[in-house]
Amino acid sequence: MNNNLKKLQEEREAMLPPELEERVSSQMGTMAFFGNLVELYVPNALQVVVRLVGGEDLPCLKKNRHREQKPIDWRIPPAPEPGLNFTDS
């Protein structure tokens, strides 16, 4: 048994032109492609512009964003951080 809202929804959907779904789908495909294109090429293009102007590499666009860390040795206790006081009570 359908309630009034379901009936209203079905009536509204029946009033939509059939090519609307195709238009929306093609526009969403275009926007997804454009988003991928921007994500791929804009950082590199920005880096090229900075280099052409004579600047150095932008730190936000560097490939290796993580600082290199020396391997952790489990046999050495960690050094206490300054400002933290833990006392045994």
Calpha distance 60→85 (Å, rounded): 35
Cβ–Cβ < 8 Å for 74, 62: no
Q: What's the pLDDT at 11?
A: 84
Mean pLDDT by 10 residues, the chain (89 residues): 82 80 88 90 83 74 62 75 60
Q: What's the pLDDT at 85?
A: 62
pTM score of the predicted model: 0.41
Q: What's the pLDDT at 12?
A: 83
Calpha distance 60→21 (Å, rounded): 40
Rg (CA), the chain: 29
